Structure 1
């Protein structure tokens, strides 16, 4: 088992390096090999999701992110990436994912900003104001990124 863990860790490192070196197909091969050894490796599922997203295979990317989240429902990267993927096609699901991410890391300002923007687009102004307020409470410099109509509320 320990040897298998070392092998999968080495393959994960290789996959990440291949992604950095603009070799997504090689990275995908490494991620699939990791999953052959450990089908519950959330990082491999997440990496495949990013590659599928890069190639425009959005349904596959979403399925990959969901598999990562089935393994770890609090996996911040998968929560954020799936929410980003769904922001236009399924904003309610994206909001749900961003809320889960915000609960996982209340100081994640980018999550609160994205959540606020989606809620504002859906006309849920009170909830949007709360999300913007949370982001600004963590980092006041973010006030300039808050939409004008929410700045007074966020600056409390």
Structure 2
């Protein structure tokens, strides 16, 4: 088992290097090899999701992110990436994912800002104001990124 872990870790590092070198096909191959050894490797599923998203295979990307979240429901990167993917096509699901991410890391200001924007677009102004207030409470410099109509509420 320890040898398998080392092999999968080495493959994950190799996949990341492929991505840095802008070789998504090489990265995908490494991620698939990791999943052959460990089908429950959330990082490999997440990496495949990013590659599928890059190539416009949104349904596959979403399925990959969901597999990562089945393994770890609090995996911040997968929560955020799937929410970003769904922000236009399924904003209610995106809001649900961002709420889970915010609960996982209450100090994640980018999560609160995105959540606030989606809630505002859906007309859920009270919830949006709360999300913006949480972001600004962590980092007051973010007040300038809050939509004008929510700035007074966020600055409390």
What is the TM-score normalised by the length of structure 2?
1.00
Give structure 1 regions of 4+ aligned residues with deviation exceeding 2 angstroms: none
How far apart are residue 15 of structure 1 and its match?
Answer: 0.1
Whole-angstrom distance in 2 between the partners of 1:14 and 1:37? 15
SS in 2 for 1:95: helix
Could you give the per-residue CA deviations for residues 23-43 of structure 1, whole angstroms, max 9, x where no partner exists? 000000000000000000000
Structure-2 residue corresponding to 1:91: 91
Could you give the per-residue CA deviations for residues 72-125 of structure 1, whole angstroms, max 9, x where no partner exists? 000000000000000000000000000000000000000000000000000000
What stretches of structure 2 of length at least 5 have no aligned partner? none
What stretches of structure 1 of length at least 5 have no aligned partner? none
How far apart are residue 21 of structure 1 and its match?
Answer: 0.4
Whole-angstrom distance in 2 between the partners of 1:150 and 1:104? 24
How far apart are residue 20 of structure 1 and its match?
Answer: 0.5
Whole-angstrom distance in 2 between the partners of 1:93 and 1:106? 19
SS in 1 for 2:12: helix
Whole-angstrom distance in 2 between the partners of 1:17 and 1:149? 43
Aligned pair count? 156
How far apart are residue 150 of structure 1 and its match?
Answer: 0.1
Whole-angstrom distance in 2 between the partners of 1:130 and 1:17? 39
CA RMSD of aligned residues (A): 0.1
Structure-1 residue corresponding to 2:15: 15
Could you give the per-residue CA deviations for residues 5-55 of structure 1, whole angstroms, max 9, x where no partner exists? 000000000000000100000000000000000000000000000000000
What is the TM-score normalised by the length of structure 1?
1.00
